[in-house]
């Protein structure tokens, strides 16, 4: 129990650090990385909260969050590369790379 | 005790993120911050045991709407336009609405209260009647697909229409851009 509480506090501290990077982060990729790692910390926090409340069945939900986080980051990065989300073949490649 | 601590930390981070969203004028950072905002509110929903709501919030708020906002930024501008008129009216409206909302929560039942109207009224009937009325063992399925069947059908129609609209808009915009490029060349 004590260990889970310590883990929760450590997760909160690292969430605060990620928030600072997200707000201050000079480049675009700092911010994308910050959101991605915030998603990972969310997954971990859901798992730790499940054990803290004595209901570890929340682990399934944490897994689903991890999947969503991955797909979301891919979508954002794909958008940077091609300036489109759906059918990439319509969009000229060079234009996306230039920006 | 632990629950209160978790709630306080999560709400503090939520408020800080909201202030950061208001203060930042680079729209890309605002989109990323709003993604984190909905992840934080999803965490609060998990802390309240509303796992399905939390999941919707994470999928729609942090996933889909981030991408849609990025699409909007690509079509419009990357920085916020400074408003030329500064009037206290919006702040006053927001303040009054907030006070009214807080006032509205005062006589609501406590979290998890067994005597709350929501637990007294239809919920016991659903639990009791679902097996006899519809003969499906899962109560959640019974409520969604039978007791609130028309409601679910309407919801599905709305979501489907919205999805088709967004897809049409996005693909149409991409094609128009390509046409313009060919005209330029």
Complex ipTM value: 0.80
- Please identify every stretch of chain A with a pLDDT value under 50, giving residue numbers as ranges: 94-99
Per-residue pLDDT at B140:
80
Give the residue from B28, B40, B63 with the most A CB atoms within 10 Å of its CB, the best one to mutate.
Answer: B63
Q: Under an 8 A CB cutoff, do A58 and B51 touch?
A: yes
CA distance A31 to chain B (A): 7
List the one residue out of A65, A37, A33 whose CA is nearest residue A49: A65
- Which residues from B are below 8 Å from A14, CB to CB? none
Cα–Cα dist B138/A38, whole Å: 35
Spell A41-70 as b/e; 16+ CB within 10 A means b. bbbbbbbbbbbbbeeeebeebbeebbebbe
- pTM of the entire structure? 0.76
Burial of B145 (0-12, 13-18, 19+ CB in 10 A): middle
List the one residue out of A79, A50, A31 whose CA is nearest residue B35: A31
Query: B34: nearest CA in chain A?
Result: A35
Per-residue pLDDT at A94:
45
Per-residue pLDDT at A89:
64
In tens, the pLDDT along A5-22 reads 899 999 999 999 999 988
Cα–Cα dist B178/B185, whole Å: 11
Confirm or reject contact between A11 and chain B (CB < 8 A).
no
Tally the C-alpha atoms within 13 A of residue A23's C-alpha that lie toward its C-beta.
Answer: 16
CB atoms within 10 A of CB B75: 12
Task: Using only the alpha carbons of chain A, give its radius of gyration.
Answer: 17
Cα–Cα dist A83/B123, whole Å: 48
- The per-residue DSSP string of A34-85 comes to HHHHHHHHHHHHHHHHHHHTT-GGGHHHHHHHHHHHHHHHHHHHHHHHHS-S
Confirm or reject contact between B172 and chain A (CB < 8 A).
no
Cα–Cα dist A85/A81, whole Å: 10
- Please identify every stretch of chain B with a pLDDT value under 50, giving residue numbers as ranges: none
Cα–Cα dist A40/B84, whole Å: 40
Per-residue pLDDT at A96:
45
Residue A87 neighbours by CB under 8 Å, 6+ apart: B171, B174
Query: A62: nearest CA in chain B?
Result: B55
Is residue A14 within 8 A of residue A58, CB to CB? The reply is no
B133: which 2 tokens? 């009325």
Q: Under an 8 A CB cutoff, do A72 and B62 touch?
A: yes
- Which residues from A are below 8 Å from B54, CB to CB? 61
């Amino acid at each position: 129990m004590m260990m889970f509480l310590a883990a929760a506090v450590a997760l909160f501290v690292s969430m605060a650090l990620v928030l600072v990077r997200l707000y201050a982060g000079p480049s675009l990729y700092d911010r994308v990385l910050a959101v991605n790692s915030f998603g990972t910390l969310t997954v971990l926090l859901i798992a730790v909260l499940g054990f803290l409340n004595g209901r570890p069945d929340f682990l399934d939900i944490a897994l689903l969050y991890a999947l969503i986080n991955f797909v979301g980051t891919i979508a954002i990065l794909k958008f940077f590369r091609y300036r489109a989300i759906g059918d990439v073949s319509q969009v000229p490649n060079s234009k996306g790379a230039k920006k | 005790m632990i629950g209160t601590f978790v709630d306080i930390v999560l709400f503090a981070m939520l408020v800080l993120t909201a202030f950061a969203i208001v203060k930042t004028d680079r729209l890309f950072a605002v989109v990323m911050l709003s993604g984190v905002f909905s992840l934080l509110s999803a965490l609060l929903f998990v802390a309240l045991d509303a796992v399905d709501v939390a999941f919707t919030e994470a999928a729609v708020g942090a996933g889909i709407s981030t991408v849609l906002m990025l699409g909007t930024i690509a079509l419009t501008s990357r920085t916020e336009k400074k408003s030329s008129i500064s009037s206290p009216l919006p702040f006053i409206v927001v303040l009054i609405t907030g006070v009214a909302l807080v006032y509205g929560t005062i006589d609501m039942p406590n979290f998890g209260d067994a005597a709350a109207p929501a637990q007294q009224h239809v919920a016991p009937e659903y639990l009791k009647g679902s097996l006899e009325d519809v003969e499906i063992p899962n109560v959640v399925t019974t409520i969604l697909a039978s007791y609130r069947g028309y409601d679910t059908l309407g919801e599905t129609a709305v979501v489907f229409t919205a999805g088709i609209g967004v897809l049409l808009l996005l693909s149409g915009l991409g094609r128009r851009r390509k046409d313009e490029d060919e005209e330029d060349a």
